[in-house]
Chains A and B, each alone.
Chain A
Amino acid sequence: MKLRQIGEQRLLQVSSVLIILGLLIEIATLLWFHPLSFVLFAFVGASLIGLGIVVYLASLVFGVIPHAEGGS
């Protein structure tokens, strides 16, 4: 297995963890009727999910690089 592939898969795992954590926080805030639940979702939950999406997109970029190198 190539080093880049391992890196890509690790990024996928990190992305998954961030998204799952963010989504669990989102479920908790949806079940908690309190002004702080809005703050928790907006600043923690949504940020974690957003970061997870960014990491996933980064993993796509890493995945494309070896292919491009192979083609040149």
Chain B
Amino acid sequence: MTGLLIGQIVLTIVLASIFLFRPSVTTGAGWKIVAFIGLCVLPALCIVAGMNTHVQRSEQTQFCISCHVMVPFGKSLYVDDAKHIPAQHFQNHRVPADMACISCHADYTLYGPLNDKFRGLARIYFQYIGTAPDPASITIPGGFKNAQCLHCHLGARGFEENPVHSALMDTLKSNQMSCLTSGCHDTAHDIQNLSHVKFWSPVQ
């Protein structure tokens, strides 16, 4: 996909170069149409396609953990312990392994993706211009919402037939009881204890 986009960009550069070195060709009607395509339509498409590619790329696990402060969070995905919820989801492909972070941390609302991108820009600012926080001190503003879990689990047979889940369904849906802090699934990215745990090595 990126190859196609680069091909489109190269084609646009070639067309734009014609009007850079020979702008007088646009006196002809045919060349005016070519100029419109080369200097308006194709560049606009390049912006849209480029933005789309970058947004898709920013959803990849490798992209998220390329920031220094996120490295321990990426490492925690390989903890060899089924009680560690992110690791369990990642290792068993309950979330796509190449999009593990965004699967659980995306804001599944109308303007959620836009909000995610603005939050991402703020993190880039702290990484390169401001002061990067200590990874252990990073928390999710407002806490981790059950809606993130229920986005996938709600309606799933294994989840709904569990007697504990069915008994607490209303409080879970209304976020009165958190999936993580209620003592049920309370081990998420336990990055402070990464030096004491065993890690899983995927078979290549």
Contact = CB atoms under 8 A, between A and B. Distances in A.
A27 B124 CA distance: 21
B58 A19 contact: no
Given A24-B13, A39-B121, A41-B50, A30 B19 contact: no
B39 A15 contact: yes
Interface string B91-114: 000000000000000000000000
Contacts of B50: 26, 29-30, 41, 45-46
A12 to B, nearest CB: 4
Given A27-B6, A33-B57, A56-B39, A13 B23 contact: yes
Contacts of B20: 13, 16-17, 20
Given A9-B23, A24-B13, A27-B6, A35 B43 contact: no
The dominant DSSP class at the A interface is: helix
A53 B38 CA distance: 10
B178 interface: no
A56 B35 contact: yes
B53 A36 contact: no
A50 B57 contact: no
B51 A46 contact: yes
Nearest to A57: B40
Contacts of B57: 33, 38
B161 to A, nearest CB: 42
Interface in A21-72: 22-24, 26-27, 29-30, 33-39, 41-42, 45-46, 49-50, 52-53, 56-57
A39 B124 contact: yes
A64 B53 CA distance: 37
Contacts of A57: 40
B82 interface: no
B63 A35 contact: yes
B9 A27 contact: yes
A71 B34 CA distance: 26
B47 A16 contact: no
Interface of B: 2, 5-6, 9-10, 12-13, 16-17, 19-20, 23-24, 26, 35, 39-40, 43-44, 46-47, 50-51, 53-54, 57-58, 62-63, 66-67, 120-121, 124, 127-128
Given A26-B46, A26-B50, A27-B10, 5 more contacts: A16-B17, A23-B13, A35-B120, A36-B128, A50-B47
